[in-house]
Amino acid sequence: MYKLAKHSVTFVLGLVLAASANANLIVNGSFEDNDVAEGTWQYFAADDVNGWEGSNIEIWDGLNGVASAVGEQHAELNAHPYAGEFSIFQNFATVIGQSYDVSFFYSARQSNAESFAYSVGSLMGELTDHVVGTWSQFQGSFIASSDISQIRFTAITNGTVGNFLDGVVVSASVPEPGSLVLLALGLFGLGFARRSLAR
């Protein structure tokens, strides 16, 4: 029994370490860290929202019956400014030459004509296919050309209404060298456990 428990722990620990090495590089990508009362919204300077910088951010928690795509809260991108560029961004560590996967959810608040631009590394574009009451998911990838990369969202539609954002994730497409070592340890632990159980 002790052998089974010992090898199971080795296997699980290896897999946990490998998974954590390939985790989300974005801090507070689902905007859950600033707790907002259920059924309400709250306005924050972006610097007061963990992980984010730039313009201000409205965080919603079930306001007007709008459910978040991930967790209980989501952000409204173009909150409060009536004119000029409105954007939020976050810097994160990357490895030059490493490929990274990017995904996030977005939705229209009031009009299907809402739109915003995104950029992360060499990946950039505009999203103009918003639908009121429906979350869409963007997925893409980029290869890092710097040891620090930035993800940025910029409202195209001026005003105080529109562009819900949630579930922002950036992770290594292929495990980095350290992750491969940890994964190998996990697989070694699994093989060792299986051999021990077979005896």
According to DSSP H, which parts of the chain are helical? 2-21, 177-198
Q: Are 179 and 10 in contact (CB under 8 A)?
A: no
* The pLDDT of residue 53: 92
Q: What is the pTM of this model?
A: 0.76
* The pLDDT of residue 102: 98
* The pLDDT of residue 115: 86
Tens of each residue's pLDDT in the chain, 199 residues: 434 444 444 444 444 444 444 699 999 999 999 999 999 999 888 789 999 998 788 899 999 899 999 999 999 987 665 556 788 999 999 999 999 999 999 998 887 878 889 999 999 999 988 888 899 999 999 999 999 999 999 988 766 777 899 999 999 997 655 555 555 555 555 555 555 555 5
* The pLDDT of residue 82: 58
Q: Are 58 and 75 in contact (CB under 8 A)?
A: yes
CATH superfamily of the 25-173 domain: Galactose-binding domain-like (2.60.120.260)
CA distance linking residue 153 with residue 106, whole number of Å: 11
**Any idea where the domains of the chain sit in the sequence?**
1-22+175-199, 25-173
Q: CA of 98: how far to CAs of 102, 138, 175, in Å?
A: 13, 20, 9
Residue 63 CB contacts under 8 Å (≥ 6 apart), including other chains: 39, 40, 41
Q: CA of 99: how far to CAs of 21, 22, 85, 94, 105, in Å?
A: 14, 12, 29, 9, 21
